Structure 1
């Protein structure tokens, strides 16, 4: 059963989440769209656990949430001019860009496509976690693959009772997932 930590004690909640992520665990947390699942995308153990929890097919890549724009260059090879325009206009916010991935990225992040999906979230919880962790975190929706994403901590617990930690931040108000834009060239 997942441990639930309320965000009222923000610093303690963030510290607990960072410990879980560093240890290869999976944390459910609110975002500007739905609850998401944060894990270290560079720990194979963590990614395998994430896929198992969601019952997600391995050929589906995983979205990454950034703490700041500088983290973008840890995972992408290049940022085409059109992507830069979109970033200036819509980041931070619910816009996911699919960009050319760095060669060293784990295969399960790109699913062999050579591309990686990234978003600079406007929600303070995942953004601060990624900043403090020093690199992007996974941001896939908190749900079983193919099911509607969770919008409350209780929905997370009902669908994913084996997640390691739930940061309970109330209900997410989104009605739609983030917009996804594939940018390969100008």
Structure 2
């Protein structure tokens, strides 16, 4: 398959190229496009054959449900049996944006989208290119991350090109994703609502808007093979680079000491090692390829760079990545959720 690559400036959108993307979607093709979270691989959500091609292109397990992207609430009404009042409140507060809502699906939604579940995951992206594509195509768009299944999610077009060139009709380069982690997935069919995947909208933000929110215990489970996915990203090792990832968890000083010790050991054995540090600690390492994820005091900066730096260390040819854990509160919960899955839950705890 020949893949077309088009560049669109989100601040000055080229309607002609948006039209090309919309036409491909309407004709049953695949389009990779930027969103504010990560790049998505889109197909017409109402076209079962087109959606099946997403699974083929990504090598994605068929029991892993997809998120449907919309551009207005009228689209949502056609995809669900009813919109709970709570969902309307959340849409008003957080849409467009990185929040996915789980609701009871209508008969129009193909089972391939929901992996046979009675619910469907829906969100409205805030990225202007994503919104324009959906508006122009006038179809809801099923779109998981635009990468080979299991690899770190793509936050830049070059990541998509590395993974999907020759497997999709069109890749749109719209610059770097802002959030850097996939959306928060919230099930509003239960009371209280439950977070099935942490993301850019935090538990604290949700509770401030609508009251008590629960978190699914499976989010931090290390027995993923026993989980029946109720939302994307709940099952399987995800976000993994080629290198083995080891998380060091504990007080910062103890983490640094342990990582320095391990890095020296790998060096003696001739094993190239990478270190995922923070702005506060990056200068404390003298062995290995050191990358700063961002500022510990601003976890948003770490969220936006995690996937990019995992891919960057792969490009550097390291075989082991030693990663400092961060506090798992706020956006840090989403960061640690992704980091632990990237590591296959290979965690060394240090200190008290």
Q: TM-score range by the shorter chain?
A: over 0.9
The partner residue of 1:105 within 109, 117, 121 is 109
Matches within 5 A, 1:62-141: 62-141=66-145
**Is 1:22 matched up with 2:26?**
yes
CA contact (8 A) 1:94 1:119 kept: yes
Return the alpha-carbon distance in structure 2 between the equivalents of residues 115 and 63 of structure 1.
11
How far did residue 45 of structure 1 move? Answer: 2.1
**TM-score between the two structures when normalised by the length of structure 1:** 0.94
Return the alpha-carbon distance in structure 2 between the equivalents of residues 70 and 64 of structure 1.
14
- Report what 1:6 is aligned to: 7
- Report what 1:180 is aligned to: 185
Return the alpha-carbon distance in structure 1 between the equivalents of residues 88 and 190 of structure 2.
11
Aligned length: 186
CA contact (8 A) 1:74 1:135 kept: no
CA RMSD of superposed structures (Å): 1.4
* Ranges in structure 2 where 5+ consecutive residues have no aligned partner: 192-352
* Ranges in structure 1 where 5+ consecutive residues have no aligned partner: none
Return the alpha-carbon distance in structure 2 between the equivalents of residues 184 and 76 of structure 1.
11
CA contact (8 A) 2:87 2:101 kept: yes
Q: Please list the CA deviations of residues 12-66 of structure 1 after superposition, one character each: whole Å capped at 9, or x if unmatched.
A: 1101101211221110000011100111112222111111001111111110111
SS at match of 1:148: coil
Return the alpha-carbon distance in structure 2 between the equivalents of residues 153 and 175 of structure 1.
13
Q: Which runs of structure 1 show a deviation greater than 3 angstroms over 4 or more consecutive aligned residues?
A: none
- Report what 2:172 is aligned to: 167
Q: Which has the larger radius of gyration?
A: 2
Return the alpha-carbon distance in structure 2 between the equivalents of residues 95 and 32 of structure 1.
11
The partner residue of 1:143 within 135, 143, 147 is 147
The partner residue of 1:60 within 58, 64, 69 is 64
CA contact (8 A) 2:42 2:144 kept: yes
- Report what 1:32 is aligned to: 36
Return the alpha-carbon distance in structure 1 between the equivalents of residues 181 and 66 of structure 2.
18
